[in-house]
Amino acid sequence: MNKLFFASVFSIVLSQAVAVRASDQACPDSHLANAAKRIHIQILDPTTKLDSVNNELIKPSLIDNELTGEAAIPSLIDDKLVKQTTNKGQVALTDQQNTQYYGSFLLGSEQQQFTGILDTGSSNIWIPDQRCTTPACQKKTKFDSSKSTTFNTENENLSIQYGTGSMQGYVGYDTVTFGNMSVSNQGFGLAQQLSDDFQYSPFDGIFGLAYRSIASDQITPWLDNAVTQGLLPKAIFSFYLTNTPASGTGRLILGEPDPDYYQGDITWHPLKPLETGGPADFYYNIVFDGIDVDYTSIPLTCQYAGTACHAIVDSGTSLIVGPAEDIANIQNTLDINPDCSNLDQQPDLVFSIDGVKYAVPPRFYVVKQVDWWGQEQCVAGLSQGSENFWIFGDAFMRAFYVVFDKTDSKIGLATLAEDLKNPQTLRTHHQNQQ
């Protein structure tokens, strides 16, 4: 499927691409998600604190700190991964300014290490090949297949085209270790060419977590193979996305939800087909009822059309993306000062899903953008898409503990654990740190 990038200073974020086989035919139904999928902006990290569930309203509370002040963070180009000790089944996440969350994985018998966007909006794994000589590959870790005794390939061509970027290469098979779990003979892409759009991205590749139905060449995803090979009893994982860049506390949990990261009950929502008659095992798509801002219901395109309102929950999309008119209606209710001085006066965005209301306060959905000239400005983390469905990206997911259950085709949302709610130091990232 098509993917459109909005790139700022140096990084490109990816999700939901058109995956093309050797025959140059796109995956079935890939046209459904050619919305504006990706936003990457530089931000000053909002600090947050959460409350527990209050009746049906799942609402993170605000703290009194304003988005002012700065502190330098280490260069994530030189030190790609925040070093954390993790348990089996856990993957430490590097938070690149609340717009990209990526983790590490190992390939081959020598366990060569790579970083990748952990993406619920795509299904393929790919990293640069040792023979990749395009400029975008030069600062990335490249896979050397000659060092792995377990590597094999049939040299099947692989091409993935994004809205403003692309990769070309071939398919290889080897042992892929993720969260201290090793899947043998896992298919993945080896990029021999990367477009310049990837040149300054701080990660090496992509680690797709969606369904096989959208994978290029129908390569079986890692999580599915982990179940088949007896490493996990079912295909289920969850995210805690930290709201503090460089803290190193974010996690992807493989297997059943970890109660250390949430409190109260998990509220489950079934996956639904993105369009009538389509498969449910396509994207992590749910149906929602509506959106309220400041106790006022926002008129939505889907409601006027008399159709269900659809949203893909996507860890690989930075912001909340929706139909252009709907996003404009929400933006018109907001009055955010460029310096964020009135952040606490902004309303919550309240999403109603199956009758349950989920409140996302401004300290989650407001981000601080740094443009090409180094000027900072607080903006709502919303983006106008070109399709009639929504994407609930990181600006939504950060507010909750989010569980993806592929086996039972459902998504769960819960309140974050109390000890994860402490305020953190504000940070920003500027273009001279690339």
Q: Where are the domains of the chain?
A: 18-433
> What are the structure tokens assigned to 158, written together?
């692989």
The whole-angstrom separation of Cα 360 and Cα 334 is 14
Query: Among positive and negative, which fits the CA dihedral 376, 377, 381, 384?
Result: negative
Residue 137 in contact with residue 122, Cβ under 8 Å? no
pLDDT band (50, 70, 90) for residue 330: very high
pLDDT band (50, 70, 90) for residue 345: very high
1-5, 214-218, 223-227 — which one is most confidently predicted on average?
Answer: 223-227
Q: Which residues are catalytic?
A: 119, 314
Q: Smallest Cα–Cα separation from 255: which of 58, 87, 16, 111?
A: 87
Strand 296-297 vs strand 290-293: parallel, antiparallel, or unpaired?
antiparallel
Q: Quickly count helices (H) and strands (E) in the chain.
A: 5, 27
Alpha carbon of 41 to those of 7, 126, 237, 305, 430: distances in Å?
7, 24, 27, 33, 11
Q: pLDDT tens-digit profile of 356-375? A: 999 998 988 888 777 778 77
The whole-angstrom separation of Cα 386 and Cα 4 is 10
Q: What are the two backbone dihedrals, phi and then psi, of residue 328, each rounded to the nearest 5 degrees?
A: -60, -40
Q: What are the two backbone dihedrals, phi and then psi, of residue 17, each rounded to the nearest 5 degrees?
A: -90, 170
- The more confident residue out of 171 and 58 is 171
> What are the structure tokens assigned to 282, written together?
């396509």
Residue 426 in contact with residue 47, Cβ under 8 Å? yes
Alpha carbon of 345 to those of 58, 261, 294, 364: distances in Å?
19, 29, 10, 14
The whole-angstrom separation of Cα 387 and Cα 86 is 39
The domain 18-433 belongs to what CATH superfamily? Acid Proteases (2.40.70.10)
The whole-angstrom separation of Cα 193 and Cα 142 is 12
**Total number of residues shown for the chain:** 434
| pLDDT higher than threshold 90 for residue 62 | no
Instruction: Give the single-character DSSP code of 103.
Output: E
